[in-house]
Amino acid sequence: WSYDLVSTWTHEGRVVRLLTLIDEHSRECLAILTARRIGAQEVIEQLAEVMVSRGIPEHIRSDNGPEFTAKVLRGWLQRIGAKTLYIEPGSPWENGYCESFNGTLRDELLNGEIFYSLKEARIAMDSTEGTVAPSLT
């Protein structure tokens, strides 16, 4: 698996954060968490929810953002037996499947939508779960 964060904004300029979780083998989007703020605890909760139905992955690849390098998240992943693979700083191509999905998400959905609320953004993101990168359509 791999995961990353994407930011977009509502029409009044409030941030909307998206945690995208991708299966590197199938390229399927396993989940998109949509919230104003996403920290390590929210990442753990989303991963746990997906792991209930998909099992525990061998590894999870990410960049070095504070949400992904937090001690609480690293400790939790270690306890459940999932390895963390951190890409080199400034090397997004090392997380290629997730970056490709996020680029397509931005090109095909985010850049063409004006969200008036967090709820509206959540509804739009729910429609992309289960899709396969690189195309959402």
- Beta carbons within 10 angstroms of residue 67's beta carbon: 21
Which pLDDT value is given to residue 136?
45
Which pLDDT value is given to residue 81?
96
Share of the chain above pLDDT 90, in %: 61
The pTM (predicted TM-score) of the whole model is 0.87
Residue by residue, DSSP assigns 67-113 as: HHH-HHHHHHHHHHTPEEEEPPTT-GGGGHHHHHHHHHHHHHTGGG-
In the structure encoding, which two tokens stand for residue 137, read together? 């359509």
Planar angle of CA 41, 34, 135, nearest 5 degrees: 120
pLDDT, averaged across the chain: 89
Q: Coil, strand, or helix at residue 56?
A: coil
The letter for the amino acid at 83 is K
Q: What CATH class has 2-126? A: alpha beta
39-63 pLDDT per residue, tens: 999 999 999 999 999 999 999 999 9
pLDDT at 98 over 90: no
Distances (CA, A) of 75 to 36, 38, 40, 47, 53: 25, 18, 11, 14, 22
